Amino acid sequence: MITIIGAGKVGSAAAFDILRYKISDVVLIDLNENQAKGEALDMMQAAPAIEFDGNIRGTSDFKEMRGSELVIIIAGLGRRPDMTRIDLMNTNAQIVKSVVKEVVKYAPDCKLMMVTNPVDIMTYIAFKESGFPRSRLFGMGNILDTMRFRTYIANELNVSREDTRALVIGEHGDSMVPLVEYASVSGIPITNLLTKEQIEKIVCLTVTSGSDVIQLKGSTVYAPAVVIAITADAILTGRNRVMSVSTCLDGEYGFSNVSIGVPVVLGKYGVEKIIELELSDQTRERFGKSVAIIKEAIAALKS
């Protein structure tokens, strides 16, 4: 069973994607009980069309998460067009702390996925508040950034998005680091297919992509929702997917006491392995700056 805490646009869309892909039963929790129940009822009425025979229920009662294999926290304020993810930090930190206490109380053995922004900082807070081993707690951010990176590579080359492969590490925010040296199309490095100018344009579009959507329509919904679903699938089915998630480093890449996006093997037990890549000097410098931004924000939060 999967519990999603936060029945807003992203939480509800993610719940429906989980049903549509037949990954798991879902409990949708929100302080607005009618919203949670209404979303669940709406999805259940769609279940015959998507051939889903499981259960989706909405509630405001945290006890309903008992027995969940995966809990996904999306609750919190969304980013407005004039805000950065860091701007959300102080308000959402208090929300996350209170929700994590409920998770520890009712689902102490779950894997915990953070989605609330700024996700790297919220992942760090959840790690400290929960006492969970770092393998059972991670943040969804760079997987979404990677999907955007792949999209822009495919668009630039006019090839199938399915054939593009890429990774993004670092903050889920303006200091993210799209790994150009590891991006390819059917195994062909993009550096062999695109000019330096084209690659710089793609990297810029990737970094601003979330803000671009928010400026146009107020919030991102479909892309984060489907990423949540495929991440949940990796956990529930134990597929050992290689994905870039926000995880708490303990010496990897030369950093500790920070949660930030790096590639991992994601499976039945959560973060089963952190993959340490060889990075170019320039990329390592950019990643270090991204770590510094997150650490500075964490320090400000503590004060």
- Catalytic residue numbers, as ranges: 172
Q: How many helices (H) and strands (E) would you count in the chain?
A: 8, 14
> Scanning the structure block, which residue is given the tokens 């926290």?
73
Is the Cβ–Cβ distance between 32 and 38 less than 8 Å?
no
| CA-derived radius of gyration, the chain | 19
Tell me whether strands 164-165 and 184-185 are parallel, antiparallel or unpaired: antiparallel
Q: Distance between CA atoms of 93 and 301, rounded to whole angstroms?
A: 8
Q: Which residues, in sequence order, are CB contacts of 68 under 8 Å at separation 6+?
A: 1, 2, 3, 27, 107, 110
| DSSP of 247-265 | EEEESGGG-EEEEEEEEEE
